[in-house]
Structure 1
């Protein structure tokens, strides 16, 4: 069974099933249509960029044509920084704002920050070799590859997980994100939870002090390019980037010892049972069953005060649309993201209504 490890265990909410929202068309929260105007700028994670671009383009051209919502995919670390320096209207990251950052937000803005998850997705291990599609890896072998203790595809540790598969005697070229990245946070949080040697040497974060014999790439696109540039390339990226580039992906062994392909169904399975605290500060760990184990959420950051009326209304309306509208869900599932579920949706809607509520 999936278990979500909360960043603040105290006060955790009851276990909530995250049901896909394909059935929500009839009772979705109504929002205004064709009456709003305003230009909104956001920045942050590259993890949800394909989905955000679809959402924003559709919203700007079909839902509220008087609005313009732009998003700069500059990495989660930079997105958090720009949010906290008030350079953007909203920020985005694959990790929640921690207490020290929430304190900075209060000092800078003079009111509380608002943060809520909007979508779930898988971080996949992409490989530049079609013959290795479905290669089975576990947390120990992935950590060993990035720590350069495992340097070739036919290493005994990998061979033991792939009996009967002819593995090439080829050097593995591990590729990582060189920018501050929420994708890195999801990836390193998984390894930190699963592998003690990784926790001791690297730990989790948006930036990691990587082994010298690994290769960096800027953004998901940069990782993909570096993987494709080498016959032995292997890197962690958002699932949609691996799909759109036609790269082979590894099956990763979950908590129950099951090798799981990174599919939408497996991502959904990893988020079906969620113990999420009221402050939405959580990590996704110890995934079993049919769930894919390297799964993360994307958070949106906004403020309780300081927006003009048009900006605040567009922010509330747009994020309401993304978590309640069936068309928004269809964009998410087509790109390999798991949309918001009914139980969590109601809680997120309450958080969205806090945007600019203190003014």
Structure 2
């Protein structure tokens, strides 16, 4: 199916305009966090991490600074792995990450910006479908089942007119053309979520597990999201995976889940989280979900990207600012703003309540 959305340039221009307006005035009678009236807080926050959150973070920062112009927030991106390292060494006071910290990583400690013995706050603040984008001349509609998608990226299905692809695309003229599967060359949370789906839905075909670094040779390696975009766009016969916010006007495949064909949509993506459970053995503020990627009717290739901070900061002033920012991000205003610019899925009412409670516990 063909998806048309607001161009990235226009979105960024609109956000830039909002940022300038936020610096010039503070007429919004909302609060920047529990117990904080607009304009009460001051300071600087450094964030980094998931590039998938880039557009959403720009939007959130602009909206938050309209409420709290005394706080300057910088989000450097750099990738999820780099963000987790930044948070552990105290370079970043909060991060975005396309995977949460593992329980053994938390138990090992070493989070220098947190108070001794502090739990972590990990909130699934950015939920986005991972688009399976393709560029095949003459083909503008495609449906793939799990085994076929896994075979394409495992390198066992190599031409577009393969019978496995034809079986789910009746009436579509598929060319005798080599498939060029595009994957990330860098360590990536998007890769981790994509391979987690392949591992869950087609383990007999995808035998490499859930990994953040591409595990096999073949196909085309591309650096970060812009590299994947370029590789898909400039090739014929290409197919790749990328965050929905970066899918632009690419043609997107639908996926077969059970007996149903599911098209990419934010609502179908958020349904995955609602069908899943929080991992056992984590602190009450550590909302890490064990995703159910095979539930019929949901869009299963979804990125759940976390907003991560300390439950208690070594510097209480930093804690107050992070708390206010996190509360804004998970609010209806914050989630709806990100949905407009980044095409993410707003948190469901139940998840929003849990996320607000976790953010409100920061000190």
TM-score by length of 1: 0.83
Structure 2 counterpart SS, 1:55: helix
1:30 deviates by: 6.7
The residue aligned with 2:10 is none
1:114 deviates by: 2.3
1:160-199 to 2 correspondences below 5 Å: 160-198=167-205
1:209 corresponds to which of 188, 197, 215: 215
The residue aligned with 1:275 is 277
1:328 deviates by: 4.0
* Structure 1: gaps (5+ residues): 1-24
1:203 deviates by: 0.8
The residue aligned with 2:22 is none
1:236 deviates by: 0.4
Q: 1:214 to 1:283 in 2, by over 3 A?
A: farther
- Residue by residue over 1:110-142, the C-alpha shift from the partner in whole angstroms, topping out at 9 and shown as x without a partner, is 333221211311111111247433311122111
The residue aligned with 1:64 is 68
The residue aligned with 2:15 is none
Take 1:172 and 1:76, find their aligned partners in 2: how far apart are those partners? 29
Q: 1:53 to 1:131 in 2, by over 3 A?
A: farther
Take 1:165 and 1:312, find their aligned partners in 2: how far apart are those partners? 56
* Structure 2: gaps (5+ residues): 1-29
Take 1:160 and 1:275, find their aligned partners in 2: how far apart are those partners? 34
Take 1:285 and 1:153, find their aligned partners in 2: how far apart are those partners? 29
1:85 corresponds to which of 76, 82, 89: 89
Higher relative contact order (CA 8 A, sep 6+): 1
Q: 1:271 to 1:301 in 2, by over 3 A?
A: closer
Q: 1:297 to 1:327 in 2, by over 3 A?
A: closer
- Residue by residue over 1:158-199, the C-alpha shift from the partner in whole angstroms, topping out at 9 and shown as x without a partner, is 011101100122211111112221111110111111122355
Structure 1 counterpart SS, 2:177: coil
The residue aligned with 2:331 is 324
Structure 1 counterpart SS, 2:123: strand
Take 1:219 and 1:73, find their aligned partners in 2: how far apart are those partners? 11
TM-score by length of 2: 0.82
Q: 1:301 to 1:105 in 2, by over 3 A?
A: farther
Residues 1:144 and 2:129 aligned together: no
CA contact 1:178–1:218 (8 Å) conserved in 2? yes
1:47 corresponds to which of 36, 47, 52: 52
Take 1:258 and 1:206, find their aligned partners in 2: how far apart are those partners? 29
- Which is further off, 42-51 or 102-111? 102-111
1:307 deviates by: 4.2
Residues 1:228 and 2:233 aligned together: yes
Q: 1:133 to 1:69 in 2, by over 3 A?
A: farther
The number of residues matched between the two structures is 324
Structure 2 counterpart SS, 1:285: coil
CA contact 1:136–1:250 (8 Å) conserved in 2? yes
The residue aligned with 1:247 is 250
Q: 1:131 to 1:102 in 2, by over 3 A?
A: farther
Take 2:124 and 2:149, find their aligned partners in 1: how far apart are those partners? 27
1:334 deviates by: 4.9
Q: 1:133 to 1:79 in 2, by over 3 A?
A: farther
